[in-house]
Amino acid sequence: MKFAIGYRQTESGEPFQNIVSDYRGAVAEVYFPWPGLPTGRPAFGTSRGARDWSAQAELEEELSVLRGMGVKLDLLFNANCYGARAVGEDLRREVESVLSYLEELELLPEIVTTASPFIAWAVKAAFPSVETRASVNMRIDSVAAMEFLSDLFDSFHIRRDLQRDPETVAKFHAWCAGHGKKLCMLANSGCLRCCPFQTFHDNLLGHDAEIAAHANVKEFHPHLCRKLYADKRNVLAFLRSTWLRPEDLAEYEPFFDVVKLATRTHPNPRMVLGAYASGHFSGNLFDLTEPGFSGTFAPYVMDNRQFPPEWKEVLHCKEMRDCTGEGCGKCSKILERVFHSWKE
């Protein structure tokens, strides 16, 4: 099993290419946004709404090195909202222009990941050799959904809320294998399972630059997870989320050739990749996800070393999707083992 990791300018100043080089055998793809354009995260290459042209130059240099390593490039057009341009000629021209520019640099990406069926259509029309991939933000939650989109997309991210159920994953994979498609998943999302804020939050990110220019209401918290976890008694919701530990991935190997790791805004992408590449993590699980919650729950940690064999039964619990409170108690027993202060 190999991994797709998200490009970022590291906080330490270390070139991103160094991380990929050190784990070259584990990295199949690097996904990246284009500077100044809306994506599923805060806009890359902007500072207080202004374009940072040095970010683009650095990105191009790093992409050239990654291409030389034989790593596939995956360009993101995965904003949830493009506003009035959503099906516009100007958006189509912008997408084509970015791809044409990269082609001139001999950096045409092998993959374009998008949450927009319109952008997928535009890419297929202008660059048919490029694989179009349905973003995890599309929340593909049925084989029927993939069937409906089969003329637009070559690969699909399964809805992360479903991926802890191997039977469902196997069903999705079987359809993809039978129709010449590929199945992908995101392993380390820290988002709440079936988060009712997701559409709202994704739309905010799509308009990140515009929102930053407004005086916003400080009393309202747009991140439901952080609001919920302000009360540490809600930590069970984290345990019941969608992430998979590095140690959990082995049984998914028949279904996924490449697993996506969220690292675009993670402060330590090297740590995330190292943990999943080795299949082992001995630290605080709150540090491994994006978003991470180590500061929220401090001084308590979720000790990945303490997960017992019974975790597998909880991981694949079919009742977890609608579980609230203490539920059957199995999650609570796991929590007693793994949630504690480092001093304990």
Over the chain, what is the mean pLDDT? Answer: 94
Separation in Å, CA 90 to CA 2, 95, 96, 242: 36, 9, 10, 36
Supply 288's token pair. Answer: 């491994």
**Reported confidence tier of residue 49, pLDDT bands at 50, 70, 90:** low
**Which domains are present in the chain?**
2-225+241-281 (3.20.20.60)
Share of the chain above pLDDT 70, in %: 97
β-pairing, 50-51 vs 46-47, is antiparallel
297 CB contacts (<8 Å, ≥6 apart)? 229, 232, 235, 286
Is residue 48 scored above 60 in pLDDT? no
pLDDT at 183: 98
Is residue 159 scored above 60 in pLDDT? yes
Supply 260's token pair. Answer: 């996506």
Supply 294's token pair. Answer: 């180590």
Best CA proximity match to 238, nearest among 227, 229, 247: 229
pTM of the entire predicted model: 0.94
List beta partners, residue 51: 46
**Reported confidence tier of residue 141, pLDDT bands at 50, 70, 90:** very high
Q: Which residue has the tokens 């191997």?
A: 166
Please give, one letter per residue, the 3-state secondary structure of the chain.
CEEEEECCCCCCCCCHHHHHHHCHHHEEEEEEECCCCCCCCCCCCEECCEECHHHHHHHHHHHHHHHHHCCEEEEEECCCCCHHHCCCHHHHHHHHHHHHHHHHCCCCCCEEEECCHHHHHHHHHHCCCCEEEECHHHCECCHHHHHHCCCCCCEEEECHHHCCCHHHHHHHHHHHHHCCCEEECECCECCCCCCCCHHHHHHHHHCHHHHHCCCCCCCCCCCHHHHHHCCHHHCHHHHCCCCCCHHHHHHHCCCCCEEEECCCCCCCHHHHHHHHHHCCCCCEHHHCCECCCHHHHCCEEEEHHHCCCCHHHHHCCCCHHHCCCCCCCHHHHHHHHHEEECCC
CB 226 within 8 A of CB 296: yes
**What's the start-to-end Cα distance of the chain, in Å?**
35
**Reported confidence tier of residue 47, pLDDT bands at 50, 70, 90:** low
Share of the chain above pLDDT 90, in %: 84
**Reported confidence tier of residue 320, pLDDT bands at 50, 70, 90:** confident
Where is average pLDDT lowest: 49-63, 73-87, 159-173, 183-197?
49-63
**Reported confidence tier of residue 324, pLDDT bands at 50, 70, 90:** confident
Region 85-95: mean pLDDT is 97
Region 285-299: mean pLDDT is 96
Taking only the tens place, the pLDDT of each residue in 293-309 is 999 999 999 999 999 99
CB 161 within 8 A of CB 137: no
Count CB atoms within 10 A of the CB of residue 12. 9
